[in-house]
Amino acid sequence: MKSRTIKILAIFIALAMIVSPVSAAITPTPVEAHGSLPPRNDLVPTGSTSSDKYTDEEPTSLEQYVVNKDGTLGYIVLFEGDSLVKASGGVKGSAIYSIESQNYLASLADKRNSILAQAEKTLGRAIEVHYIYDVILNGVSVDLTPEEAEALRGVPGIKKVLKDTIHTL
């Protein structure tokens, strides 16, 4: 009887050693866009948050435009409405990860998608967004021809369309 009890105990211990690592390896399910979002490590505000300092002026001798192989230029499209930092009065540190901040970013995403859909109708083609700027600025980075950039300036919800420049020191 004692030998049988020891065998059963040994089997349970062996099963526990096998099941424990397997259950720990289960991957978490992805988070929904409007649910609780995972923390973003790229959300550290620095410097000025005003998009009014950006202008449509020609570049200085130290600036260069970003020109693509297909002849399009890189543009920054700024939307009406405040960025996260401006709307919250200067979010700092971990406050960026708060529920309120994440909800505001989700509302900016909804507005951005709506404006971009209208912009695609205006241009008659899909717009590929390279970068989204929603913490410090409220805008996106896209490739456009100069004519398309001019057409986007009249789309409701678009505040400014600026050529993307490279600044060298």
- pLDDT value at residue 31: 45
Domain ranges, ordered by start, for the chain: 1-169
Q: How far apart are CA 126 and CA 50, in angstroms?
A: 29
139, 76 contact by CB (below 8 A) = yes
- pLDDT value at residue 62: 45
90, 100 contact by CB (below 8 A) = no
- pLDDT value at residue 58: 56
DSSP of 35-56, one letter per residue? Answer: S-PPP-TT----S---GGG---
Contact residues for 88 (Cβ-Cβ < 8 A; gap 6+):
95, 100, 101, 104
- pLDDT value at residue 132: 94
Question: What's at 52, amino acid-wise?
Answer: D
- pLDDT value at residue 29: 52
- Count Cα neighbours of 58 within 13 Å in the Cβ-side half-sphere: 2
- pLDDT value at residue 4: 84
List the pLDDT tens digit at each of the 169 positions of the chain.
678 888 887 887 877 777 666 555 555 555 454 445 555 555 444 444 455 555 555 555 545 666 677 778 899 999 999 998 888 877 666 677 888 888 999 999 999 999 999 999 999 999 999 999 998 899 999 999 999 999 999 999 999 999 988 777 7
- pLDDT value at residue 26: 55
**Fold category of 1-169 in CATH:** Alpha-Beta Plaits (3.30.70)
pLDDT digits (tens, 9 = 90+) for 99-142: 888 899 999 999 999 999 999 999 999 999 999 999 889 999 99
Q: What's the Cα-to-Cα distance from 68 to each of 75, 110, 117, rounded to whole Å?
A: 11, 29, 23
pTM of the model as a whole: 0.61
